[in-house]
Each structure stands twice: as structure tokens, then as C-alpha cells.
Amino acid sequence: MPPSFPARARNITQDINTMKNSNGRRSRKKRRRKREDAYSVTLSHEAPFVNLRRWLKKKGFSSRSLVPASFSDIGRGLMATKPIKANDLLISLPERCLLTTDTVLKSYMGEYIKRWQPPVSPLVALCSFLIAERHFGDASEWSPYIKVLPKSYTCPVYFSDDIMELLPYGLQKKAADQREQFQELYSSSQPFFSSLQPLFTQPIEDLFTQDAFRWAWSSVNTRTVYMEHVQSDYLSREKDVLALAPYLDLLNHCPKIQVEAGFNKLTRCYEIRSIQSCRKFQQAFICYGPHDNQRLLLEYGFVAPGNQHSVVYVDLGILKVCLNEGDKQLQQKLLFLKDNDFLKNLTFGIDGPSWRLMTVLKLLSLKPEQYSSWKSVLLGAAVSQDTEEWCIHKAQMLCQHLSDDNINVLKRLAQLKDGADQAQLEQLGVVEGLRREERAILERSKEVLQSLLPQSLPWQQDGIRNTER
């Protein structure tokens, strides 16, 4: 949801965190040049956007500084028609233009929601209204907005099992959980949907299908802004903080952008103010928050190239690749790490392995007689130089394992593209984007790790495949 605008032994971690070289700078410059080379085509003349702007004008909103456009590198968004200075108001959308639960409760659907027990959630109320409004077509008050919404999305709830299997394991599990929650919500809402039958001439089961609910759920999940509402007695106790914001939701996410956003109670408008300036004919961006690409894909169905917040996660299954199964204290160590919440957020980034990952490897390297040092190691205590270098070697193994998996997935992905329809190609494109971004992170991590090692180590004579010291 867009925000409410939401010594070797002593200093190896410092070395990892501060390591930067010309390769990193060159790649960033290359990405920057690529963005600047992107071109745009205005969409203002296209009927859906003409109608949207007319409809919004009647509700008190007009925008001359931002117009809809299609950008060659990212798709549709909003283009600045004049220079926008830092701290200028980027967009101000009147309350009348926002689609909220208040909108739904005041509509033809309101009486049905008010008498339904137990009360439906704000999410279900919004989804139900979107499905109904899409069905009513041109007769719908919100038709100009409905017609510019995507017809489908590239979120994991749309993925087939074949595509789900291409996701990194941790993300795959989160996506499966999300899909299960979606299915449960749809199933539990069936009685309420049936109560809406008097509003329609067609059978309700033909209208409120799983596909229709998935479209509405994705529209709400990917496009709403955060806006607190007074809790209604007619809705469940879940926080009511969702608002669909026509036109404003055409603004795309950029992780480097800083914005201030929220509902202004004085002007009764949802306002976004960009901290940075924007040049004429450039795309205007907002930021949903400091999200890595896995979260962006899970929640919004896209990835951000060159995202400085992105990392590659190391879960327990991958971590075990470099563990010594003959270590009689292994299970005890793992339990200790779990109890101290050190088996989560183990990552590789563009600056190499995270401090948490290297700390976990240090603890796993300790000998039985070093049991008393476990706690101090988690607190950052230094270990021997040999141990530090051994940990770097293990991190190399993990990094290589993840790289190999990434290559294999990209090969499978290329095979799936053959015979795929347009929707599947778009979904595969998002997964491919994630995997290529992660491959770049892993390659950079390999460089960082190699730079931290002496030229030759006793246990490296046979290459990094030799795992014993």
C-alpha cells in the first residue's frame, strides 16, 4: 500500500559494509543513463483518460502539471508538463474523488452492508463495490475510473503453480500464504455476496466469481493509499485505512524518491509533496516506502531496477548447505540462534553479506570448548582471524549456491515463455526481473567477499568446493 506519505577479525563487518568500487559506480551510472534515454508518449488524447479527466474535473480536480503518459521503460505513469520544484505540491485530490468505505456505505450497496451480520470487513466492502461497478459498465458512477484500472495484475495471486515455483523459496512461501488467505476470504464472503442478489438481474454466482474477486482484491491491494477513517458500526473491527485515489494512483514507485503524503483535513484533499524536483517531460514518481524487490513483487506485482533496498535472502534450508552435519552442537546452535531471533533477515546485498549473516556463520564455526562465547559473538565480539576467513569462505559457498539456483531458474523461465499467453508473459517478466536483479546483487557480493580474502587459503587449494578446514 502506498505510504501515508507508509581488526581483520575486528573490522571485517566494517569492510563489508563500506566496500564500494568503480564497478558499482559504473553500473549505477549505466542505469541512470538508461532511465534518461527512456522516451514517453502522452495518453491524454485517449478516450479513457479524456473521460477520466472530465469526470474528475466535475468532482473538483484538475491537473495541468501532470498528464498520463506511456514510458518506454516502465509503462504508463504521469509526466510533468512543466518543471516541478522541490517541495512543490505534486498532486492534491479532493475527498469527493476518493473511493472509500464511506462511498460504499452511501451507495446502493450500503443498506445491504448495514444489515449484514457479522459485519463485513472494509476490504470486502470495497471489493464488492468494485465488482458491482464494473458490471454496471457505463451506468456506473465510477465507470471513468473503473475503465482505466488494469484488467489483470502481475501479483502472485494470479500466478500458476509453474510460475510460483520460480520464486525464491522465502517469497514462494509468503506468496502461497497470501494466496491461501485470499481463497479463505473469498470463500467466507460467499453468503454476503448472495445477499446482494436483489441488486442484479444476473445470477450472483456469475458476477462475483473468484476471478472477479481476485481483480477487485488486487486493485485494492496494489492501488490504495493510506487514509484513516472513523470506524463504522456497520463494518468489522479491522482498521479502515484504505482509499482508492483515481489519477493519483497513476504515479509510479521509485525507491530513490522521497515524498510527504497524507490527507489534509484543512483542505479536505489527499496531498502528495515531492522532496525532489522533477524536470519537464520527465516522469513524476512517488515512493511506497523502503521496500525490497521481493516485497514489491508480493504486494504490488512489480520490481524496481537498481533498488537500493533490495537484498537476496538466505533461509535455513540454504544456510544448511554450508553447515557441518558432524557438529554435535549444530542443533543446539540453531536453537540458540532461533531463540535470539537470528535466523531471520540473513541476506546478501550490493555491499556483500549482511552483519547478521556473518554473525550467524561465526557462531556456527565455534568449537565445543567455546560454548561460553556464544552470547558475546551475537553481541559482536571478535573472533580469530582464521575463523573470520573461514566464515567468508562459507559465505562464498552460500553465494555460489544461490547464484547456481538463480541460473537454473532463469533457464526454466525461458522455457515457460514458449507458448505462454500475454498475461503469463507479463507475470514471467516480473519474476525474471526479480531474478536478474538478485543475480546482480550476488555477483557484486562475490566481488566483495573475494576482496576480503588473502590470495590463497589452505582450505582453498581445491577451490571453494572444499568445505573442510
* pLDDT number for residue 22: 40
* pLDDT number for residue 226: 95
Average pLDDT on 162-170 reads 96
Least confident of 40-44, 53-57, 246-250, 358-362: 40-44
175 — pLDDT class (breaks 50, 70, 90): very high
By DSSP bridging, strand 224-226 and strand 89-94 are unpaired
* pLDDT number for residue 320: 86
- Is the model's pLDDT at 200 over the cut of 70? yes
* pLDDT number for residue 38: 58
- Architecture of the 99-244 domain: Alpha-Beta Complex (3.90)
* pLDDT number for residue 41: 87
Backbone torsions φ then ψ of 86, nearest 5 degrees: -60, 140
* pLDDT number for residue 39: 61
Backbone torsions φ then ψ of 254, nearest 5 degrees: -135, 125
d(CA 104, CA 107): 5
Average pLDDT on 344-359 reads 96
- Is the model's pLDDT at 364 over the cut of 60? yes
- CA 47, 52, 57, 63 torsion-angle sign: negative
- Is the model's pLDDT at 118 over the cut of 90? yes
* pLDDT number for residue 293: 98
Domain boundaries, the chain: 99-244, 311-460
d(CA 94, CA 280): 25
Bridge partner list, 430: none
* pLDDT number for residue 394: 95
327 — pLDDT class (breaks 50, 70, 90): confident
d(CA 279, CA 370): 59
* pLDDT number for residue 382: 87
d(CA 294, CA 385): 35
By DSSP bridging, strand 283-286 and strand 252-253 are parallel
**CB distance 184 to 94 below 8 Å:** no
Average pLDDT on 447-457 reads 81
- Is the model's pLDDT at 111 over the cut of 60? yes
Average pLDDT on 56-70 reads 94
End-to-end CA distance of the chain, in Å? Answer: 48
443 — pLDDT class (breaks 50, 70, 90): very high
- CA 70, 37, 429, 219 torsion-angle sign: negative
d(CA 159, CA 153): 10
Instruction: Show the beta-strand stretches assigned E in 44-164.
Output: 66-71, 75-80, 89-94
pLDDT digits (tens, 9 = 90+) for 138-155: 999 999 999 999 999 999
- Is the model's pLDDT at 15 over the cut of 60? no
By DSSP bridging, strand 224-226 and strand 347-349 are unpaired
> What percent of the chain is modeled with pLDDT above 70?
88
d(CA 11, CA 73): 41
Nearest one of 445, 88, 421, 71 to 275, comparing CA atoms: 88
Please, what is the Cα angle at 390 between 382 and 466, to 5 degrees? 170
pLDDT digits (tens, 9 = 90+) for 247-290: 999 999 999 999 999 999 999 999 999 888 999 999 999 999 99
Mean pLDDT of the chain: 89
Average pLDDT on 194-205 reads 98
**CB distance 347 to 311 below 8 Å:** yes
d(CA 221, CA 1): 6
pLDDT digits (tens, 9 = 90+) for 4-13: 444 322 233 3
Backbone torsions φ then ψ of 97, nearest 5 degrees: -85, -10
* pLDDT number for residue 228: 94
**CB distance 447 to 415 below 8 Å:** no
Least confident of 12-26, 196-210, 416-430: 12-26
**CATH node for 311-460:** 3.90.1420
* pLDDT number for residue 134: 98
Tell me, what DSSP letter sits at residue 153? -
d(CA 370, CA 338): 19
* pLDDT number for residue 326: 77
d(CA 292, CA 327): 35
* pLDDT number for residue 371: 87
**CB distance 245 to 270 below 8 Å:** yes
328 — pLDDT class (breaks 50, 70, 90): confident
Bridge partner list, 286: 253
Bridge partner list, 284: 78
- Is the model's pLDDT at 105 over the cut of 90? yes
* pLDDT number for residue 454: 80
> What percent of the chain is modeled with pLDDT above 90?
78
